[in-house]
């Protein structure tokens, strides 16, 4: 599932390809009954406006202007933003399409459930109304330590809680635990201040490194878990064997030999 770095890579599609173009129409695609999309009145709010800036908070992508309105995109499990020019056809599984004046188009492709598009007045009110925690790359060390260290559940689950901090999901929570040598089921509030501080550093380093590659995993170091994230694979860190088990309802990949 796309997380903070993957969402930022999609934000760049809008920033590079779709800014300062007047919106002519905002349309629904086909087979949209299972996905949350703007109604006709909300779609009409976009017409005649331009996206002049983009933003991101956690896994949410924002495109709008100083006075609004803003389009909000959550990629879900398989969502993707694709810019293209007419007369090319929209990609398959397009659920939402913006037609700009001229030939430029922006498609939200989403083959599976959980992705969504909404219209908001501004990013700040949308984030506040949703009760989302601080963006994982914007929060301060002490705030992180208090939010995660005050959790009596598993460290993996705490890192994935969007109410505590926004942007980390299954993939990068595993990477953080892997780097720290922490069993994903270790209780978060039993970790000392030094461990929590190192977790903060690991989180920032990992997310920024993935951001720098625009979420191109093949460009990441070969000794990262993401490059070896398969049950039975050799652990490049210690020579152990990668295992998998459920933690908080999600599958965690880890190395039992060095994560404890």
- pLDDT tens digit sequence for 208-258: 999 999 999 999 999 999 999 999 999 999 999 999 999 999 999 999 999
| Model pLDDT, residue 115 | 95
Rounded distance, CA 144 to CA 167, Å?
13
Average pLDDT, whole number, for the chain?
A: 97
Is residue 56 within 8 Å of 8, Cβ to Cβ? Answer: yes
Burial of 16 (0-12, 13-18, 19+ CB in 10 A): exposed
| Model pLDDT, residue 113 | 80
Q: What CATH number does the domain containing 210 carry? A: 1.10.8.50
Q: What CATH number does the domain containing 34 carry? A: 3.20.190.10
Let me know whether 150 and 109 are in one domain: no
- Does the residue 164 lie in any domain? yes
Q: Is the pLDDT of residue 103 over 90?
A: yes
| Model pLDDT, residue 56 | 98
Domain, as residue range, for 118: 4-130
| Model pLDDT, residue 244 | 98
Q: In this structure, what DSSP letter does residue 168 have?
A: -
Is residue 58 within 8 Å of 138, Cβ to Cβ? Answer: no
- pLDDT tens digit sequence for 177-202: 999 999 999 999 999 999 999 999 99
- Does the residue 239 lie in any domain? yes
Let me know whether 104 and 211 are in one domain: no
Burial of 12 (0-12, 13-18, 19+ CB in 10 A): middle
Is residue 109 within 8 Å of 93, Cβ to Cβ? Answer: yes
| Model pLDDT, residue 15 | 98
- Element housing 179 (H / E): helix 170-180
Let me know whether 153 and 234 are in one domain: yes
When pLDDT is cut at 50, 70 and 90, the band that residue 114 belongs to is: confident
Rounded distance, CA 88 to CA 54, Å?
25
Let me know whether 110 and 190 are in one domain: no
User: Which of 76, 106, 130 finishes a domain?
Assistant: 130
| Model pLDDT, residue 98 | 98
Let me know whether 160 and 229 are in one domain: yes
What is the arithmetic mean of pLDDT over 58-70? 97
Where are the strands (E) in 41-191, listed by range? 53-57, 60-64, 70-74, 80-85, 94-100, 104-109, 116-120
Let me know whether 90 and 154 are in one domain: no
Let me know whether 85 and 156 are in one domain: no
| Model pLDDT, residue 155 | 98
pTM of the predicted model as reported, rounded to 2 decimal places: 0.96
- Does the residue 86 lie in any domain? yes
- pLDDT tens digit sequence for 12-53: 999 999 999 999 999 999 899 889 999 999 999 999 999 999
User: Which of 81, 110, 130 finishes a domain?
Assistant: 130
CA 214 to chain centre: 12
Let me know whether 87 and 169 are in one domain: no
| Model pLDDT, residue 33 | 87
Is residue 39 within 8 Å of 47, Cβ to Cβ? Answer: no
Let me know whether 179 and 231 are in one domain: yes
Burial of 192 (0-12, 13-18, 19+ CB in 10 A): exposed
- Does the residue 259 lie in any domain? no
Task: Give, rounded to a whole angstrom, the gap between the first and last alpha carbons of the chain.
Answer: 26
User: Which of 103, 130, 157 finishes a domain?
Assistant: 130
| Model pLDDT, residue 1 | 75
Structural domains counted in the chain: 2
Let me know whether 11 and 124 are in one domain: yes
Let me know whether 246 and 152 are in one domain: yes
* Residue whose token pair is 């495109």: 63
Q: Before 69, cis peptide (omega within 30)?
A: yes
Let me know whether 81 and 194 are in one domain: no
- Does the residue 71 lie in any domain? yes
- Does the residue 260 lie in any domain? no
Question: Of 224, 179, 218, which is closest to residue 201 (Cα–Cα)?
Answer: 179
- Does the residue 151 lie in any domain? yes
């Amino acid at each position: 599932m796309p997380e903070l770095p993957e969402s930022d890579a999609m934000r760049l599609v809008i920033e590079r390809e779709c800014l300062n173009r007047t919106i002519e129409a905002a349309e629904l695609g086909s087979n949209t009954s299972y996905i949350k999309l703007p109604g006709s009145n909300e779609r009409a709010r976009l017409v005649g406006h331009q996206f002049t800036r983009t933003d991101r908070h956690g896994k949410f992508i924002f495109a709008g202007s100083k006075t609004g309105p803003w389009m909000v995109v959550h990629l879900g499990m398989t969502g993707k933003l694709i810019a293209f020019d007419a007369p090319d056809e929209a990609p398959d599984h397009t659920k939402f399409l913006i037609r700009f004046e001229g030939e430029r188009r922006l498609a939200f492709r989403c083959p599976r459930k959980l992705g969504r598009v909404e219209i908001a007045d501004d990013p700040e009110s949308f984030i506040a109304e949703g009760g989302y925690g601080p963006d994982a790359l914007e929060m301060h060390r002490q705030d992180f330590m208090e939010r995660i260290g005050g959790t009596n559940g598993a460290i993996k689950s705490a890192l994935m809680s969007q109410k505590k901090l926004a942007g980390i999901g299954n993939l990068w929570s595993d990477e953080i635990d892997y780097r720290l040598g922490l069993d994903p089921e270790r209780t978060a509030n039993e970790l000392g201040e030094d461990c929590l501080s190192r977790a903060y550093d690991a989180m920032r380093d990992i997310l920024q490194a993935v951001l720098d590659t625009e979420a191109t995993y093949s460009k990441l170091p070969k000794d990262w878990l993401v490059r070896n994230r398969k049950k039975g694979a050799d652990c490049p860190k210690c020579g152990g064997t990668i295992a998998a088990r459920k933690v908080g309802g999600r599958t965690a990949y880890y190395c039992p030999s060095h994560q404890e």
